[in-house]
Amino acid sequence: MIAVAIDEDLEAIRGHSEGITYPVLMDPEHNLTELYAISNVPTVVWIDENGRIARPNASEFGTDMFVEYTGRPREGHFNQLRAWVRDDLVPADADTEIEDLSQDEIDARLHFKLAATARHSGDDAGATRHFAKAIELAPFDFTISRAAMPLQGEDPFGEKFMALMQQWVDEGAPFHGIVPPRS
């Protein structure tokens, strides 16, 4: 297991990682979301011994904290993982082809990098401008629109996030990956 935090808040991630023995990597520049077309967290990818993707991007949760919302207890995914690890069995949805990023989604990632870099150098106006452009280009990519919230002094669990969730649902809940049915 390799966990990658699409995040620049090292202290917060350390807090989530106490007692964990697998590697926890930091990806403050969101390189992984571009390479694997990841648009929200959590996203899991199964990679086999030969470096092939055995099951692509999927929305799977490691805890049951959000089970009322997802309708999928974590045990279903855990059982699928056990069958894969023991017997190389993959679920039927493993053949799903994940839609590539659009040019707007690629450009949004570049604007996000420009914003984060401007913010680090104390250029708040530059950061605000590039965060706004990134969100304009990819409003329903949570690695853009929600990840920008704490970097702009906003609460990523607050009212603005709730409004974003509603808009996202109204748009048909776009996601670059498999969303297994409620069980």
Using CB under 8 A as the binding rule, the residues of this chain from 18 to 77 that contact other proteins are 23-27, 29, 31-38, 41-49, 51-54, 56, 62
Rounded CA separation 74/60 (Å): 7
Complex with other proteins: residue 67 or 113, whichever CB lies closer: 113
| Closest to 130 in 3D by CA, of 106, 109, 101 | 109
Rounded CA separation 34/30 (Å): 7
Q: Contact between 118 and other proteins (CB under 8 A)? A: yes
Do the beta carbons of residue 56 and residue 96 sit within 8 Å? yes
Min separation Cβ 162 and other proteins, Å:
14
Complex with other proteins: residue 4 or 138, whichever CB lies closer: 4
Here the tokens at position 6 are 């699409």
Q: Contact between 5 and other proteins (CB under 8 A)? A: yes
Residue with tokens 């799977």: 60
Min separation Cβ 79 and other proteins, Å:
14
Residues 85-104 that bind other proteins (CB under 8 A): 85, 97-101, 103
Here the tokens at position 50 are 């030969």
